[in-house]
Structure 1
Amino acid sequence: MARLDVTETFHGITFPGHLHTQDSLHYATHFKFQDTDTLIVTYPKSGTTWMQEIVTVMSCKGDAVRAQTQPNWNRAPWLEQYYCPDVLNASQENRILTTHLPYNLLAAALSGSKAKVIYVARNPKDVAVSYYYFHKMAKFLPESGTFSEFLSAFLEGTVHYGSWFDHVKGWTNNARNIHNFLYVTYEEMSRTLRASLERVSEFLQCPLVEEELTSTLKSCSFSSMKKNCMVNYSLIPQEIMDHRKSKFMRKGKIGDWVNTFSEEQSCTFDAIYTSRMADSSLTFVWCNPEQEPMLKSRRDPDHHQAHHILEQTLA
């Protein structure tokens, strides 16, 4: 399926036609979740591949063979992409699924389900930069233009997959409506991967002994994933993803946005962020790059309970 120049519009959001059709998007919104499913939810470029790898290796008790022999899109297929039904029909195991869809499009499908939902968020400034470079190498995405032009579209929510602000607020503000929900940040995984693995392990009810945890930690490091052709998308033909222009797994650093944003762009972004996130149930503080990014809830007692609720398996 090529359709590299095709754009699908679904419920006001645009999607690349190379991977999405009206039928595949409709399939996702009417999906029959099983209670044993694990659904990884992200806005693009927010740690999707990383969490796919974590859940895969963890489900294999630290054995990395599957992660090193099967492409991640087969191990944890995107629910809204056209090939997903075929992948799931060939699998008899507990299913790992991935989606970039906003909450409102999956709310009905998840209603009453005990499927485990892991939501991964990332500093939106780093997301914008990573997404910009992804547009340069992914032939199924529109031309990015200058970074200034792309940033304007990102802030307006007119890029493919819609608004970052709506996506994050939609899922986190509705965490109480999801039976089993875990919230993780890219920054937490980058800063303390072992602790993040322990949280995910507990959430998935997949206890790991020390040796299994160590093996998972090794397989899920950024350097290991970057070398793994089942993860780094180097298997994809150059006509679809041109790694000469930019690598799929580029830097993986937190706070690297500072090397792309101008001071004016950063101030504009901050002002819009403050306005758009005012009604969010979760308050972020993305610190200066020389500081460790952290959640305000960890140092502000007023927000501790809200963050604690999002971290738990909700009844």
Structure 2
Amino acid sequence: MAVQYVQYKGIKFPPGYNSVDSLYFAENEFQVRDDDIFNITYPKSGTVWMIEILSLILNDGNPTWNQGILNSLRAPWFTTQLGLETAHNLPSPRLLTCHLPIQIFPKAFFSSKSKVVYTLRDPRDVLVSYYHFSKMCIPFGDPKSFNHFLDRFLKGDVPFGSWFDHIRGWMKLKGKSNIFFISYEQLQEDLYGSIKDLSIFLGKELDEAAITSIVEHASFEAMRKNNMCNSTMLPKEVMDQEKGSFLRKGICGDWKTHFTMAQSEYFNRVYQEKMRGLKETFPWEPTGDQFKQRTYFLN
């Protein structure tokens, strides 16, 4: 049976998680506190990883919170009814999570002092991870084939809309003092340094022992073993673990094991067209002719 997606302002959202009413409330009526911390990503860009990192930073490296409380309760998805109720009851500072594009992000944010951590990732790896995730997460709809999903992804015909629009929208805020951009690739390359930079951005003074603890407990293996973040506690009606693993590989460059030459060429053509006009260079963009070179600086 085909999934009946929730449609809101031209973007489709997975049912069960969202409704038109919950999305409208998130955009227009959600009360933002000045000390809120928003964890924002396009799907499959390191969302859960960043929840673990930020949770540990806020608790000075102590893993007790991460190991004892579900991540959806630590960093609720405030666009859903359940997540909204959880968010309302959280003490400050709140850690909040969403995949919202900037045009339907809470309006109250733009007149607040709250902070955003935006994690971005090589869209080819996003696509691959999203494909496998959609096969096991029932509300997202099982894709017909990888090639079919590739085409839908490049056209923005997937839940939460176009990756290109999402990135371009949020990148408009680059340079704002309360926005921190970081890439999945940067986290992979230097997790210790990334955690240190994030801590400074959040105004947390952490010693070496605390940062080392965060590195340890936010590792991929630690997360796979942690039932508070590995999604194994979700019912089969939501997440069918027999079809795959939620925390699948956690690596960069897995797209190379999935793309054919023709698919790679197709992706590159669309990428160059959709990203035209940006002056940034992203970590996954090689030098040479494969992608247009840009200058991009992460925080």
User: If the TM-score is normalised by the length of the shorter chain, which range does it land in?
Assistant: over 0.9
Following the alignment from structure 1 to structure 2, what is the Cα–Cα distance between the partners of residues 286 and 54?
A: 22
Q: 1:72-116 CA deviation, whole Å, 9 max, x = no partner? A: 111001121221221023222310001101011126332111111
Unaligned runs of 5+ in 2: 287-292
Q: Secondary structure at the match of 1:170?
A: helix
Letter in 2 for 1:270: N
- State the 1:22 CA deviation: 1.2
Q: Secondary structure at the match of 2:276?
A: coil
Q: Secondary structure at the match of 2:138?
A: coil
> Which stretch of the first structure deviates more once superposed, 90-99 or 116-125?
90-99
Among 1, 6, 9, the residue aligned to 1:8: 6
- State the 1:16 CA deviation: 0.8
Among 203, 206, 209, the residue aligned to 1:208: 206
Following the alignment from structure 1 to structure 2, what is the Cα–Cα distance between the partners of residues 85 and 271?
A: 40
Aligned to 1:90: 89
Aligned to 1:146: 145
Aligned to 2:27: 29
Pairing of 1:40-59 with structure 2 (within 5 A): 40-59=39-58
Q: Secondary structure at the match of 1:85?
A: helix
TM-score by length of 2: 0.93
Pairing of 1:236-275 with structure 2 (within 5 A): 236-275=234-273
Aligned to 1:63: 62
Pairing of 1:123-202 with structure 2 (within 5 A): 123-176=122-175, 178-202=176-200
Aligned to 1:103: 102
Aligned to 1:112: 111
Contact 1:25 1:81 (C-alpha < 8 Å) held by counterparts? yes
> Which stretch of the first structure deviates more once superposed, 120-129 or 22-31?
22-31
Following the alignment from structure 1 to structure 2, what is the Cα–Cα distance between the partners of residues 34 and 168?
A: 25
Following the alignment from structure 2 to structure 1, what is the Cα–Cα distance between the partners of residues 283 and 271?
A: 11
Letter in 1 for 2:35: T
Contact 2:127 2:150 (C-alpha < 8 Å) held by counterparts? yes
Following the alignment from structure 1 to structure 2, what is the Cα–Cα distance between the partners of residues 174 and 234?
A: 36
Aligned to 1:300: none
Following the alignment from structure 1 to structure 2, what is the Cα–Cα distance between the partners of residues 208 and 73?
A: 25
Q: 1:224-270 CA deviation, whole Å, 9 max, x = no partner? A: 01110101000001121011111110001100100001011011101
Q: Secondary structure at the match of 2:272?
A: helix
Contact 1:8 1:15 (C-alpha < 8 Å) held by counterparts? yes
Contact 2:185 2:284 (C-alpha < 8 Å) held by counterparts? no
Q: Secondary structure at the match of 1:240?
A: coil
Q: 1:1-35 CA deviation, whole Å, 9 max, x = no partner? A: xxx94411000000011100111101210222111
Q: Secondary structure at the match of 1:175?
A: coil
Q: Secondary structure at the match of 1:111?
A: helix
Aligned to 1:232: 230
Among 16, 20, 26, the residue aligned to 2:18: 20
Q: Secondary structure at the match of 2:100?
A: coil
Aligned to 1:222: 220
- State the 1:287 CA deviation: 4.9
Q: Secondary structure at the match of 2:117?
A: strand
Unaligned runs of 5+ in 1: 289-295, 298-302
Number of aligned residue pairs: 291
Letter in 1 for 2:10: G
Contact 1:50 1:220 (C-alpha < 8 Å) held by counterparts? yes
Aligned to 2:290: none
Q: Secondary structure at the match of 1:284?
A: coil
Would the alpha carbon gap of residues 249 and 18 (structure 1) be closer, same or farther in structure 2, given more than 3 Å must change? same
- State the 1:179 CA deviation: 4.9
TM-score by length of 1: 0.89
Following the alignment from structure 2 to structure 1, what is the Cα–Cα distance between the partners of residues 8 and 172?
A: 22
- State the 1:285 CA deviation: 4.9
- State the 1:54 CA deviation: 0.5
> Which stretch of the first structure deviates more once superposed, 92-101 or 116-125?
92-101
Following the alignment from structure 1 to structure 2, what is the Cα–Cα distance between the partners of residues 285 and 251?
A: 19
